[in-house]
Amino acid sequence: MSNLKEIRNRIASVNSTQQITSAMKMVSASKLKKAQDAILRLRPYDEKLFEIIFAISDSLKNDKTNIYSLERPAERVLIVLLASNRGLCGAFNTNVIRKAIQLTCEKYSSQLQRNNVDFYILGKRAEDMLKRRNFNIVKTRHDVFNQLSFENVAAIAEEIMSKFANGYYDRVDIVYNQFKNAGVQVLTDEQYLPLKIVIEKEEADPDKAKYETYVDFIFEPSKNLIINEVIPKLLRVHFYKAVLDSHASEHGARMTSMHKATDNAGELLKELSLEYNKARQAAITKEILEIVGGAEALKS
C-alpha cells in the first residue's frame, strides 16, 4: 500500500489538474457561445444564396460563362483541411485528419499516385501529422483563427478560387467538422469547386426540394451578370461558413473534453481519498497495536 505522503502528493496534483480543466471548460463554454451565435447567424444567408443558385439551375445547365461551375477531369486536386491550432479537444483534430486521409486514398487514389493531390491546411495541429505521412502541403495558415473575420477568410477563398479559375486545380474539396451542438460535431467532406449548381433528380436532397419550385425568372439587368456576381459571393460566404463551423466545433469539442476530464479527476480524487483514509487507518491501527504490545511487555 502506498505511503501517506505519496497519496497526499497525488491528491494535490489531481486537485490542481481538476482546477485547470474546470477553468478551461468555462473558457471554452464562453467562446463557444460567441462562435455558435456567429455560425447560426450565417447559415440562413448561406442557404438563401444556395437557394437562389439552385432555383435558376435549369437555366444554367448549358451555361459555360461561369468558370466556377465548369466541370473538368480531376487531374489535380486540392484538399482544404480545417483543423485547430490547439489541442485538448478530444478527437476533434484526429478525426478530421483521418477523414481527409481516407478521402485522399479512396476517392483520389490515382491522383495521389501521380503526386497530384495537394493540401491547404488551416490550423497547425494537422500540419505535423500530414508531414509525417509525406503528403504535399502547399500552404498552411495558423493565424486565421486568431483574427477570425470574413475579410481574412474571404482572402483565402479568393486565393483558392483563383487557382481553380486559372486551371491549376480541377477539383477542390473541403474537409471539416460541421457544428451540430456542443457535444456533436459531424465530419464533413464536400466539393467546393467546381460548384454543383445543377442537381440531378436521383441525387436531389429532400431538404432542397423547395429549390425546384422556382421557375421562369426574369433577369435584370442580365442573367450572366447576376450569376457572375452571386456565385463568387456564394463561394466566399460558404467557405467562411465552413471555417465558422470548424471554429464552433473546436470549442464544443474542447468544452466536452474538459468536462469529462474534470469529472474523471473528481472520480480519481474520491478513489485517492478512500485509499488515503484506508492507509491512515492502517497506520493508526499499527501504532495502537505497537503501544498495546509495549504495554503488555512492561506488565510481564
Supply the residues annotated as catalytic: 89
CA distances from 227 to 80, 119, 199, 270 (A): 25, 29, 17, 64
Q: How far is CA 75 from the centre of its chain?
A: 27
How many helices and strands in the chain, by DSSP H and E?
6, 5
Cβ–Cβ under 8 Å, residues 235 and 192: yes
How does strand 171-181 pair with strand 77-82? Answer: parallel
Q: How far is CA 220 from the centre of its chain?
A: 40
How many angstroms separate the first and last alpha carbons of the chain?
34
Sign of CA dihedral 69, 71, 77, 81: positive
The single-letter DSSP state of residue 212 is G
